[in-house]
Chains A and B, each alone.
Chain A
């Protein structure tokens, strides 16, 4: 059975070109980049080459790039650094739809630091967008840092990071963005966007898992998170993950080259998939803003059915997708993103995310368009709410879910 991989916001295929450039660093070129000898030194040079390629994709300077182990480490480093740089500031502004890497960290800061922090989690509109006026109001003299994602992993909705960063900058507040979903999918030019910190993760853009980057603007106060050797100029201890760094460099080079395809070919496929599903499946609705969105992501709710059941049926055909339903979120309530957007509970449990990449084909889109509608029809046929006159409510239930 062929795998139809449409879960690229979860992780991506490592590009064959990336694997190829990585291999020598697992065999003959095993030197330590910090070594004094030529054997290690040559490895140090490729690490710097990779740093240059990553910087160039972001419109940054090479010395503003710090290698980390993953996006989560980058997020933790940025936020904790800001809090240590300004220990007297005890307020953080973030959003209700952040990835757990930021959301759970912010909610655990009191325990981590021994201080009480005030956390403002900005609400989002029903289309997942932010209210800039509300954002501006939330900033105060005691705000240490703003952390807002560039693009949402579940819906693909893009936040106005440029404007948000400018506002923070004008108030002298540090600004961090989790750009894990945005890098490689939409153009980013940090010479034009005054952010202080940016997190990215290799495996979301066809590099391997286990490599991340934290961009730190030159001049931004910085306190390291992992303390050890002098690697990364003392900003992140630990021997470099050389093979993955080389891989990430190559992946960024490819991303720069494919940025156009991402926004034309991939977007065309996504639109065909999305429009096709919305047109052929009744009671289906798009989650997230129609245009202010990543070109590869679509998140659709199918009312009166449950997401996990849809996923397992898709799995039977080798189709990989994900869902924000309660049964797949690891808790008993739908995803925090769907709840923050106020998606009605008739639809929140039946949300499916399909996220594409340059490796997807039109034939695959057609395959999903052929297989998914009958699955929804079959599950609805089985659902007590589908044809009932009191849709969404059975007798006698006292359920008052907070997701409503």
Chain B
């Protein structure tokens, strides 16, 4: 019994000591900091450009930053924060991340049997992992683990997929993707090119059946300037985006809507050169809202 009593007494005494020191010697914190801090999402995603929520709150209170930079703050909270600060709220264009790749296990060829650590950065360092396309999504979930909101799913076909309703557009996944295939785009644009390879047509067709073939049909189906072609890769002009109907023009089905599923090719057996996967990457489920 003695040890329990001793520990409890020491704990209470120390807690009292801390409390007294805090009361009499504690640094004065601006009450605004505490009020706003309570309203922040607390995910420390860094989407505002500061090192975490606390840093951003300090910057706002000191007048170094404006409210509204936080990507995951909703309008009513933003209004409250602006009221506390006494400034007019400025809204940020909502953005989301898009994984620009169609090369899941049904489409992408594999050039090697990768049996190492299931982490994209590691796989990419080892001669580029198993996928034949050097621009393809490796599907080992480095982005999904980096996402503070759990918005990225690794599908059963082995590719990362961002869930629009959860993604706040903080850009953490963009920074960690070793292949730089995740883009931050305006949330209101619904049409994306799910291919990121600027390689020639012949090479692309050899490694992936889902690649953009550079046929220019989307350019013709949209207004001038809405779709661009650089080499063999189409891109959406996000400042002047085409209508959703333009996706029907794409024969390769790499121009798709944000939530449209990646079509399974008719010859559904995976066109792999090597065994498809060594050990399957653990599926990462999106967070339930």
A binds B: no
